[in-house]
Amino acid sequence: MDPITSYVEVDALNSIEIGMGALSLEQGSTIGGSLNISHLQPTISQIPLSTFYIKSELQSVFWGKKLNMRYEHRSSKQAFSLNLTYRKALNYRDSVGNPVPFTSYEKINYNLGFVKRLGHGFELNIDLIGDDAFNIGYAALPMDVSYAQMRMLGISLLSAGNNKWLPKLEIKLYGNFVNHWMDDSRRTDLFMNMQMDMPGQTRTGGGFLDFVLAPAKKSYASITHGLLFKYELCRNGYAPGKFISNENCYMAGCRTH
């Protein structure tokens, strides 16, 4: 399936943290390390303030159109932000102006952020990311992605500097789902002279507790405990409507995340 970076927009990014090694309780354990992608967050301000901007781009090589807007409202108790990006592109054109078939795409991405100050120095953060893509062409493959959908939700409770014995505390719960539908309905030359669809679904959720203990003035201990669960389904392209286990996905000809 597509990498997770295909479901985020550069305009909404704040930072990217690269983790080396196989163990990561917060981002999940992988052999090649991990990426912690941080989006722009709304910030609380003592002076109420609302900001809004909009920008657009046009790329001539494939007549790609991009529209991006961001709105943020700040106050002394809470803040809210919305980042919205829409993209649409036709087929690429080569050096002599001929179109390259099956290279067009269309997608919309949004990022909602909410921050609220609670009592006793606690802060509540809520993040919602959505991405919908349509008719994504892959010129080098025998099929395209007719539809891809992603939703990601994260809820965090943070506290900093409230207690000299516990200078940092973060509790976070998160979850996401991806629906990914590959098919060759737009192709005239079919692979193996047969029409196939390859839908896949992924459901992932988890959480972690991160806190710092400072029993003495010159010593501290950082402790993180994480929990992750993942559920995958793929559907056999040769028998529409029949879900099979993840272990048999590649034998059946479908792909998973």
Residue 84: count of CB within 10 angstroms of its CB: 19
Strands 105-117 and 78-89: antiparallel
Q: Which residue in the block uniquely carries the two structure tokens 């973060």?
A: 170
For residues 169-179, average pLDDT:
88
Locate the DSSP E strands across 164-218.
166-183, 197-216
Q: Which residue in the block uniquely carries the two structure tokens 């972690």?
A: 208
Residue 253 has pLDDT above 60, yes or no: no
The residue that leads in pLDDT, 121 or 24, is 121
Phi, psi (degrees; rounded to nearest 5) at 167: -70, -15
Residue 145 has pLDDT above 60, yes or no: yes
Residue 209: count of CB within 10 angstroms of its CB: 15
> Could you read off the pLDDT of 43-54 as tens digits, one per residue?
888 889 999 999
DSSP structural state of residue 251: H
* Domain residue ranges in the chain: 40-252
Question: Please, are residues 127 and 113 in contact by the beta-carbon 8 Å criterion?
Answer: yes
CATH of domain 40-252: 2.40.170.20
How far apart, in whole angstroms, are the C-alpha atoms of residue 2 and residue 16?
19
Total-model pTM: 0.76
The residue that leads in pLDDT, 22 or 89, is 89
First and final C-alpha spacing in the chain = 5
> Could you read off the pLDDT of 90-129 as tens digits, one per residue?
998 888 888 898 899 999 999 999 999 987 778 999 999 9
Report the range of poorest mean pLDDT among 22-31, 117-126, 128-137.
22-31
Q: How confident is the model at residue 28 (pLDDT cuts 50, 70, 90)?
A: low
**How far is the CA of 58 from the CAs of 53, 61, 62, 122, 149, in angstroms?**
18, 9, 9, 44, 25
How far apart, in whole angstroms, are the C-alpha atoms of residue 226 and residue 26?
6
Residue 245: count of CB within 10 angstroms of its CB: 10
153, two tokens = 């939700």
Residue 138 has pLDDT above 60, yes or no: yes
78, two tokens = 């809470």
Q: What is the pLDDT of residue 140?
A: 84
